[in-house]
Structure 1
């Protein structure tokens, strides 16, 4: 009888998870109500708004922008392919880990039950195996003495001595003990690929750590293989570090007053936040905390919530980072819907990044390019919006 109750309980939990997942996916695809409330506990990463991205979003015409005049053949996908994509998206949402730790105020803490591991796709790793136990402060002390010499993101991971659970030493309590250790450095970030000099400094750190802890060192990759992978990842980032954007502009003689802009943005579901930009919050993990953002088309005048009465502009720019966005095609559709809502509220019209009227065909061309980018990134093994993509394209990612 106890077994029957246990199986019944498990079945109820599975049904509940599937129902909640389906509801969340529907919220992402459908229009956002202006009464929707945002949750401070949603598990996302704060995006890094680099000046080059903001400049490209406002000015257009750069290599990072998707264009409406691209040479694209628009074809309707077979229904079977569409269904496969939807099922894959549901499976991903149902199985993805929740990054609750990144939302908590104060010093970073490990998320209970989550394993923290090096990312073999983008990291150069030095393993320090051993039976242990190694005290956390002893290993971390040696690491801290030397890791400041490195520029790329680096981490020291340990496998708990008794449970075999992997975590990051900086997030653990002082009493934690470890068996195996792993030292990792990211091969590429938005500043470019790692060079041979920094890899050698990193290897020296690994050797110093090994000497202090009386551990051997093992390198899954040679230095040459690491540099080759860094070059490959750098080319990948150069190819797919792109922005999808569009403008909402006024008539020839008209301007948008500040209060009207604020009202239109809020009505479209955006909130004023980081860097005094409006953002559409992401409420469905994974990916960045913001789905897309809104800036003043005039770069010389930022939004100022204390001076809405004096603010005026002839145009607004909505933009999104394609590689940092989970399901970027769906998010682009949502961004277009918000732009149309704002244009209707303000009495404006839509333009592309070349300041030409944005037509339905132009929107379809951009959407097609986004879907192609998503498929190619998946084929490379780094899907848009994944933790790996965030680390590669977003300096503020701390997963």
Structure 2
């Protein structure tokens, strides 16, 4: 039996390595097809911008800057973070057959939140419904789904309504003896890497048809294939418009620098914690939305701090930044970030600047706040509120759920 497990595990590793290599090549190809963007650059020129924001902008060289002195920019997921998430997903996919056949559980397997219903998100998902009068076992349905779903790149789920009840759950989170009436397959149409491609949506549809055939069930599609692609394009335009980062610089006097020890001391005093991506973060403990209200990075090429060299660091400035669409109350989060920036500047003997290194005044801060509120209003009017679960999935914060 030990030999059998060993052979199974070796096979899993081989499959994971091959799949990861394919995904990495696809990701590199996508990256070559679009420009690199970081916290210092504006969103792509072809991204649509709300008229209210267009009216409030002016040209500054090749960049478009808000008159409020805050730059709008598209935030891209770091390469290493994408790779870690893909490795974890491949591990979960590779180990699921073991869970179905031998009862072994992968230690990273997610657990269902007590009492929570898991449903598709009609705003951003393309779904295939498989209604049924007879019960189907969890392992039977999930086994068919898992045979093909590894071909998909976007987030996808198989949901089931517990037989004789109205409770919906994610099959991957349920016990092996769970039985279901209706089933729903869902795939996310847009994520931070872009909209779903026609070939992937076609593959997903074929998986749904195969499940319907093997389980002898009808299929229902709330959206046609063409409508799904059109919805994906509309969502991508929405993301291009509202993926906004608000930022503030804290800079020293001319020809001076901030010492690493002083930065660490002031950050801790302000309640910031050193953590992910070698940034400081203010954790969100008061509202839904992103796990952080805002973050602070070193204002240099790497934008990160070296935890092993605080005594050697001489910084030319700091940048505090927040994701507007991922904040549950973006105006309040911005106000807190401004107050923190002022405290840190006062402690370090620095001043506040915008992202083209001009003084940031009280009037400018008020204008920024007004524009952030305008973004929140337009997002809510579209039906996707800032900081909502849907917004977090679209704007690169799904891991916080």
- Shorter-chain TM range is 0.7 to 0.9
Aligned partner of 2:301 among 299, 302, 305: 299
Instruction: Report the equivalent of 2:85.
Output: none
Instruction: Report the equivalent of 2:257.
Output: 255
Change (3 A) 1:306 1:69: closer
More deviation, 336-345/130-139: 130-139
Instruction: Report the equivalent of 2:154.
Output: 152
Equivalents in 2 of 1:330, 1:274: separation in Å? 23
Instruction: Report the equivalent of 2:274.
Output: 272
Q: Give, in angstroms, the shift of residue 314 of structure 1.
A: 1.2
Q: Does 1:130 align with 2:132?
A: yes
Q: Does the 8 Å contact 1:65/1:245 carry over to 2? A: no
Change (3 A) 1:221 1:236: same
TM-score, reference length from structure 2: 0.74
Please, which runs of 5 or more residues in structure 1 have no aligned partner?
A: 1-50, 71-104
Runs of 4+ aligned structure 1 residues displaced above 4 Å come to 61-67
Change (3 A) 1:251 1:183: same
Q: Give, in angstroms, the shift of residue 225 of structure 1.
A: 1.0
Equivalents in 2 of 1:196, 1:151: separation in Å? 12
Equivalents in 2 of 1:250, 1:350: separation in Å? 9
Equivalents in 2 of 1:63, 1:199: separation in Å? 35
1:237-272 CA deviation, whole Å, 9 max, x = no partner?
A: 111011000000001121111110001111111100
Instruction: Report the equivalent of 1:52.
Output: 37
Instruction: Report the equivalent of 1:208.
Output: 210
Instruction: Report the equivalent of 1:229.
Output: 231
Change (3 A) 1:239 1:301: closer
Please, which runs of 5 or more residues in structure 2 have no aligned partner?
A: 1-35, 43-59, 71-106
Q: Does 1:330 align with 2:314?
A: no
Q: Does the 8 Å contact 2:290/2:397 carry over to 1? A: no
Instruction: Report the equivalent of 2:194.
Output: 192
1:84-115 CA deviation, whole Å, 9 max, x = no partner?
A: xxxxxxxxxxxxxxxxxxxxx94211001000
SS of equivalent residue, structure 1 residue 52: coil
SS of equivalent residue, structure 1 residue 264: helix
Change (3 A) 1:69 1:252: closer
Instruction: Report the equivalent of 2:68.
Output: 68
Equivalents in 2 of 1:202, 1:63: separation in Å? 39
Q: Does the 8 Å contact 1:66/1:242 carry over to 2? A: no
SS of equivalent residue, structure 2 residue 379: helix
Q: Give, in angstroms, the shift of residue 52 of structure 1.
A: 3.4
Equivalents in 1 of 2:65, 2:215: separation in Å? 49
Q: Give, in angstroms, the shift of residue 299 of structure 1.
A: 2.2
Q: Does the 8 Å contact 2:69/2:355 carry over to 1? A: no
Q: Give, in angstroms, the shift of residue 308 of structure 1.
A: 0.8
SS of equivalent residue, structure 2 residue 157: strand
Change (3 A) 1:282 1:63: farther
Equivalents in 2 of 1:360, 1:144: separation in Å? 55
Q: Does the 8 Å contact 1:64/1:243 carry over to 2? A: no
Instruction: Report the equivalent of 1:366.
Output: 368
Aligned-CA RMSD value? 1.9
TM-score, reference length from structure 1: 0.75
